[in-house]
Chains A and B, each alone.
Chain A
Amino acid sequence: MAKELTYADNATREMLKRAAADNVDTIWDRYEAVQPQCKFGTMGVCCRICSMGPCRISLVPGKSPQTGACGANVDTIAARGIARMIAAGTAAHSDHGREVVHTLQAAASKPDFDFQIKDPMKLRSIATLYGVKIDGRKTNEIAAELAEAALNEFGRQHGEMIIAKAAPAPRVELWKKLGIYPRSIDREVVETMHRTTMGVDTDYKNIINHGMRTALADGWGGSMIATEISDILFGSPNPLRSRANLGVLQADQVNIVVHGHEPLLSEVLAIVSKDEGLIAKAKAKGAKGITLAGICCTANEILMRHGITVAGNFLQQELALLTGAIEAMVVDVQCLMPSLHSIANCFHTKLITTSSKAKLPGVQHVEFSPERAKAVATQIIEQAIDNYQNRMTDKVFIPPDNERIVAGFTTESVFNFLGGKYRGTYRPLNDAIIAGRLRGAAGVIGCSNPRINYEEGHIRMVTELIKNDVLVVTTGCNAITCGKHGLLKPEAALKYAGKGLQEICRAVGIPPVLHVGACVDNSRILRTLSNIVSEGGLGNDLSELPVAGAAPEWMSEKAVTIGFYFVASGVYTIIGHPLPMMGSQNLFKYLTDEIEQETGGKWAFEPDAAEAAHKMIRHIDRKRKALKLKPMMYEQPFKPEE
């Protein structure tokens, strides 16, 4: 078995013991098996773009080879690698967004469609952003026109993206000046692939600049569209209660776990699983009911809107299967471990793929389409019910651990929970920062990664931040980790937060860490920061805000894209393990230093999570100083030397 996890939640540790006892390999074992990892790959100095290669550059300064066969030097090779990661991340988020827009379009035109518009207010607000007329028009008319406008963002051949204009005006202007304002999502991805293929762009800064443009097409494009249109279709989230960790699975119920990233099927499953007829069927099979739980960002999507419980995050997907208590695990796209199949095979669990984009060999595939949403959902649930009787009771082990959480925060709900219907406002938040009650805010997001002592990166960073009066917003797997460790409970403020943050949490009734959704919902953080700017008193652009971003346990290419769109938006962004480009000193210098002159944001790498938190706080303090904000109201545990 892999080395012991000292920070992980109890359920994870218990399940790993069980896996070891049963001789089942998990990701930690496989990670150990691939050690030592290729240094050239890690440092980003290996190029396998054409068949003259693979070429790898020597890691010893001055030692040959210093270029590949074609003459590309280490800066070019490293920059190309990074740019292609950005393109992949943008493609992933944006393809997800595209599916949602197609569904909106269908919902607008078909009255008996399985999805209908649940948030007409938000429809109107986003339609206005797109210049779609709303006065005197029916919801469906507006939706149809909005869907068309949103689809244009993907394939537009003339002009530039519309939704990115939601950024503060000086930021939009800056992007245009730098030539990185995105034109259309698909175009920027295609152009990245073109620029980075054999014999095209060799100027590492030029490559990275286009990488930022591609990343902006995600953060202020595909991801934002995914978030906004999902809210229109499925309803905007509001603060709500739920639970997180493997203990949410029920020993005496039909357990269905949804895993992946898209909200479409899971949204319908959340509704259909409450169907009285299906529950009766489950009871007829001897179960007490149907439990739906989620893993990864599909979990976050239905948690945010329905309060559906969360079974776990990325590194727990295999452990969930190991409980032996899951009748069906339904997956869509992204972050699916190919190992799921072999583990599911040890139990009665039916693994079902649903997207034509993501199939697993030998696994049952039930193709999902929005047109057949309810039928597919019903079919899957019925299969799960039928499978209940096959459960091998002696092999079932559900760890009892699960923690209560509050989730469902959005850019829009801030107005309401701070000011109510009539005084909806960001003022208390801005005031708190200005007055020195809050030091600033941080977005801590991203994956989990066996490279890091599981959850240490997240928990040490988040607790260090909130202890120093930094309000944390979270998405993705970090959010689930925070949930499992009790940080999403409002009571956590009283236990972990500094005095100033505590006062804010007490006044408003919020946890010190706010769960704002799935990884596409990092766009909510961008919109929230823009609202803070427009509320006033904290500068005119995102880059002036005392905020920072972090992904302490990142692993996915999507995280690289997210990091780049935050840096391009002017945000200091720190990750644990460095980007695979450390072999290029020039690129390193550019990303961690020079780029700040251009965008106001920059990258930093710091594997020690507490130290990373301190770096974020130092940055926040520099921004506070530049804005001439008041000194902190209460004594801070962390006092930078400078």
Chain B
Amino acid sequence: MSKIIASAAIRGAHKLVRQAEESLAKAIAAKGKDAKIEYPNTAYYLPIMLLFLGQKVEKLGDLEESLQEARKLLHPEPSDELWLPYLGDALDSGVATLLAEETIEVLKYQNGSNPVNGIWLGFTDDAILRLQGIKLVDGRMPGFAAIVGCTKTNQEAVDLVRGLQERNILVFIAGNSNGRSIAEQLAEERIEMSWDTFLVPYGKDITAAVHALNFAARSAMTFGGVAPGDLKAARAILLYNKERVHAFVLALGDDPGVPKDQVITDEKYATAAGAINFGFPVISNVNIPEILPSGICTYEHVVANVPVAEIITRSVEVRGLHIKVEKVPIPVPYGAGFEGERVRKEDMFCQFGGKFTDAFELVRMKPIDQIEDGKVEVIGPEVDQMQEGQAYPLGIVVEVAGRKFQEDFESVVERRVHEYISCANGIFHMGQRSIIWVRIHKDAKAKGFQVKHFGSILVTKIHNDFSSILDRVQVKIYTDAAKIKAPMEEAKKVYSHRDDRIAGMTDEDVDEFYSCALCQSYAPNHVCIVTPERLGLCGAYTWLDCKASHQIDKHGPNEPVAKGECLEPVKGQWKNVNDYISIKSHGNLERFNAYSILEEPMTSCGCFECIAAIVPEANGVMIVDREYPNMTPVGMKFSTLAGQIGGGTQTPGFVGIGKLYISSAKFIAAEGGVERLVWMPKALKEEVGDRLKARLAKIGKEDLFDKIATEENAETPDKLVEFLTQVNHPALSLAPLV
């Protein structure tokens, strides 16, 4: 019964708060109260303290206050007889526990115990949060599982995480059962664990589980636009998690040395009580007591005795996850969790493309009678005729037909090929068009994976995602070095034809833009307006994508928005667009300027690829992408900047953008356009280089490219102005920005 849980959670909280106090006392004795304390690369201080206490912890001394608050949340254990209500007390002890665990974990960054060690990854920084967060936001990841403990056998562990990966559920791992963690089991089975594979081992101590919750806390602050501060805000953040972040805890295996009816440690219950505050239920394979009535969580709070083989299905029910698993007819597991997995050279059976052979992929529209639906044809050798370690050509031609299909949608479908193929376990895919590189893992080959399976994947997935606009799909795959030549030449012609067409498309050419409300489940006050010359700030949705998406689902997240009367041609403001966003942002916004950074700029959900920000000293604008962790000339890192503009806030001087927008003719046109661009991280500058150079050539400013500073030239405003003056950057002589 749940009194056992409440008692254990309250005991556990007492122990962990004491442990945190001891660790803190040691740290203060060694370094003093004024010593700085922080997690790497986050704008949210210690997110747990920020959430629950509204406290911005910066120094060791601040943690004393945090722990005093934690102490106030500790209650006596329920008595054996005549007990007083304990559910509320147990929930409070869960919060106290998280405050203690956050303290213990952050001190590890300071006292040399090194939380990032071997398979263990420690704290998730804001860059990853934003990169991965979008998948939670747009529904690609239905939720996350926090696994504590281990399974009986390694095979069970592998099957469990494969099952989670197949359902695209992100997996966090912390703690252990009797000294063993599932992460260690997976490592022994050589399962790749990283953010790319959706398998994230935080740490072997139960205290590391707090990282899953500080991730959840930040997701509400980043995407939900809930500003931390007081008790009301804390409650809003927790409820945001209950309603929108579909996470659950899997408590696997029992612990030695605990009372028989308790099964796992006090500290685990205490941490679970913390998770339940977020609305995250606990599902276990062992005989722990249950809490079945709902209320704090959406459904049951604690469910026990679920065999590992059934635990995913049961968890999905208990948390109320919406999961669509399409069965892809291939001999290896399939799911988004495998998308980021790499195939190392020594594990590779064979490879295609890259710098070794010809390879390309193309989606083409055909008359319906020329397509035999579902047909997959391999022209050239199959995998079993290939030799280990060798490279072969690979031309993938997907032919589709449908009454509603338009030529413009070809690229939309084609861009998904990478994701579709990568999601097969043991297949590595990168690039697009004629620069693809594919590898097949030895294990995949052993399981019977063939070249034809690329076709099976594409037929299934394309049908599944685009069924409302196309009726037939067939795939031809060329692996023959001679026979690939002609289709590859044809493909290159198609690519260049498309580029010309897209490059020529301007906002003035169309009557309708598209809205994107994909993130509204997470960021209810934000709505994107996607135009031909300004793609979605996440970088994932162009105007054509949105158009196709609307064709696919008329009631989906993308709606056409007739521009209506143009109110501000240079700044980019239209009457109907204003009316639309006013309704769709639930009154949060009245208007915005699509091409301005200073005056009522567009808002962000929080998953922007880059942030553009005014550098007043340089009379210009800098851009920083989320991969860049260091300081920028505006004195803020990406993570801090991001904190200013997520969740639908309009912050003049800052705007979230997609990378492609940098080379758009409408790039901050209201403030003078690309000539304002004074600084970018080097890696970003290289990434967007070709397109930016082309854009500059078009306006006859080829020389500007080299005048844009990077971190190699300047990291402070003074240094930046010095550099810009030296290269005679045009921004310096433009009209004053502010």
Contact = CB atoms under 8 A, between A and B. Distances in A.
Given A428-B295, A503-B293, A418 B88 contact: yes
Interface string B279-322: 00000000000011111100001000000000000000000000
B89 A420 contact: yes
B364 to A, nearest CB: 52
Interface in B61-94: 73, 78, 81-92, 94
Interface stretch (A321-329, A431-439, A590-598, A611-619): A431-439
Contact of A509 (B3, B231, B238): B3
Given A491-B81, A509-B3, A420 B87 contact: yes
Interface string A415-434: 01111111111011111100
Contacts of B277: 420, 422-423
Interface in A396-429: 404, 406, 416-425, 427-429
A406 B87 contact: no
B295 A406 contact: no
Given A431-B294, A507-B292, A423 B85 contact: no
A240 interface: yes
Contacts of B85: 239, 417, 508-510
A368 B308 CA distance: 70
Given A421-B73, A422-B95, A509-B3, A416 B88 contact: yes
Contacts of A404: 81-82
A241 B89 CA distance: 16
Contacts of A506: 1-3
A418 B94 CA distance: 14
B199 to A, nearest CB: 30
Given A420-B91, A507-B2, A432 B293 contact: yes
Interface residues of A, number: 33
Contacts of A489: 82
B84 A241 contact: yes
A435 B294 contact: yes
Contact of A241 (B73, B82, B90, B292): B82
A422 B231 CA distance: 7
A504 interface: yes
Interface string B27-39: 0000000000000
A432 B82 contact: no
Nearest to A415: B88
A240 B52 contact: no
Contacts of B235: 422-424
B147 to A, nearest CB: 24
Given A437-B293, A504-B293, A418 B234 contact: no
A419 B1 contact: no
A490 interface: yes
Contacts of B2: 506-507, 509
Contacts of A509: 2-3, 6, 78, 83-87
Nearest to B3: A509
A490 B234 CA distance: 31
B90 A420 contact: yes
B88 A420 contact: yes
Given A421-B95, A509-B6, A239 B295 contact: no
A439 to B, nearest CB: 14
B77 to A, nearest CB: 11
B295 A425 contact: yes
A239 to B, nearest CB: 5
Contacts of A508: 85-87
Given A417-B87, A421-B92, A490 B82 contact: yes
Nearest to B301: A507
B245 to A, nearest CB: 15
Given A509-B87, A510-B85, A422 B238 contact: yes
Nearest to A535: B295
Contacts of B295: 418-419, 425, 427-432
**Which of B52, B91, B238 gathers most chain A CB within 10 Å?**
B91
A302 B293 CA distance: 33
Interface string B252-292: 00000000000000000000000001000000000000011
A88 B292 CA distance: 47
A428 B91 contact: no
User: When A and B form their complex, which 6 residue pairs have the shortest distance between CB atoms, in order from nearest?
Assistant: A428-B295, A420-B91, A417-B85, A509-B86, A420-B88, A427-B295
Interface of B: 1-3, 6, 52, 73, 78, 81-92, 94-95, 231, 234-235, 238, 277, 291-296, 301
17 contacts: A404-B82, A420-B92, A420-B277, A421-B73, A422-B234, A422-B238, A423-B91, A423-B296, A425-B296, A428-B87, A428-B296, A431-B294, A432-B294, A506-B3, A507-B301, A508-B85, A509-B78
Given A421-B88, A507-B87, 5 more contacts: A417-B85, A428-B293, A503-B292, A507-B293, A509-B86
